[in-house]
Amino acid sequence: MPISATRKAAIRAEIVEHAARLFRLRGHAGTNIDDIMLAAGLTRGAFYAHFTSKDALFAEIVRMGHGLLPKLRAGKPSAVLDAYLDRESLSATAQGCALAALAGDVARSPLSARLAYANVLHGVIAELARGRKRALDADATAVAILAVGAVALARASGDTRLSDWLLRCARRAAKTLMKPKPKKPAPKRRASPAKKRSTSRPKAAPALPSRRAARSRGGPA
């Protein structure tokens, strides 16, 4: 008896959920289909009713953007960043952000996964730039780089004090970059220069010759 569309969707979601957790914990290379299906309580054969390959499943998980993007869409960016750049969030690798956890794996993956990663990253930057003039705002882009990079570095570091320092510095820098910039005052219009009034006196009309001068020149009296 064929399963219903609802049941099929539920099985697919279960596969994705367990695969996402395993990929974040073990990486792409350290996770195989048998591991995923065992965690989901399903047979290997059931996998191919939903995905053509492990790479296709991996690209789907990256595309879903687990972690930072959904939280930014649902909440205030400053509050989301504070929680994201926190020690408690850092330790939750299995449920954490795919951008930080899977960056290295995605770089070695087929184009489909890399394009999916790029789309999620674009979405994160756009959410951080909410209310700004441009979707690819330079400060919002810098905050995305800071946040994802700080989590990846802090998680990789075996030194707890260094990890905490990285997160603290990233939080401080992100707050500075996310502050709204003061609006520049509108440039003052220069008044058009008034026409200079002539200060020179008009030339006097030439004086008429006197009668005596006219007679001496032989003119009429």
pLDDT digits (tens, 9 = 90+) for 173-185: 999 998 877 666 6
Residue type, 218: G
* pLDDT for res 96: 77
Question: Whole-model pTM above 0.85?
Answer: no
Which domains does the chain carry? Answer: 54-178 (1.10.357.10)
52 within 8 A of 15, measured Cβ to Cβ: no
Q: How confident is the model at residue 2 (pLDDT cuts 50, 70, 90)?
A: confident
Per-residue pLDDT of 66-124, as tens digits, reads 778 888 989 899 999 999 999 888 877 777 788 998 999 999 999 999 999 999 999 99
